[in-house]
Amino acid sequence: MARCLESVRALHQKIIVVSSGDDTETTIVSKAYKATLIERPNSLMLNVNKNYGFSKVTTDWILNLDDDEELTHEVILEIKKVLGDHDTSINGYWIPRKNIIFGKWIRHGVWWPDPQLRLFRTGKGKFKEAHVHEYVSLEGKTETLDASFVHHNYHSIEQFLY
């Protein structure tokens, strides 16, 4: 989680962490990065808590990341550029995701470029709360960034199988 929060710090925005409250490390790391920590009971449908976190955002844009993901320097620069352009016709941006599995970047199949709708205007997007791995449902026009972010996915065969 620290890697994730460290990577978003360069955007100089408010950070909101939604946690089930049963993880001491999450509390410690959130405080270290001056993130707003919202504790809620864990839901089998993770997107319920994500949508709740979205409802607490007071800025114009939401960047949604999981704790095993991080921004690259290149995508930070591109995010700053598109947000600085003030193009009001765009409500969201798809960002290519590099999946690191067993320590290696998987560059083929469904693993790359694996675009994710992770940057969107506040109030314009949310999860449907129907499945675990679903996309944000968004009102309006989207574009795709060139730069990617990183997902530190499976670390072991056991984790992959279960």
User: For residue range 121-155, what is the model confidence (pLDDT) as tens digits?
Assistant: 999 999 988 766 788 999 999 999 999 999 999 88
Q: Say if residue 118 is exposed, middle or buried (CB neighbours under 10 Å; 0-12, 13-18, 19+).
A: buried
Average of per-residue pLDDT across 65-93: 94
In 3D, which of 35, 3, 34, 7 has the Cα closest to residue 19?
Answer: 35
> Residues 6 or more apart from 152 whose CB is under 8 A from it?
3, 68, 69, 70, 100
Range scoring the smallest mean pLDDT among 15-19, 43-47, 92-96, 101-105: 43-47
Residue 99: the pLDDT is 97
In terms of pLDDT, which residue wins out, 160 or 37? 37
Residue 132: the pLDDT is 67
Give the chain's mean pLDDT: 92
- d(CA 162, CA 154) in angstroms, rounded, equals 10
Q: Is the pLDDT of residue 50 over 70?
A: yes
Residue 43: the pLDDT is 78
Residue 23: the pLDDT is 76
pTM of the complete model: 0.91
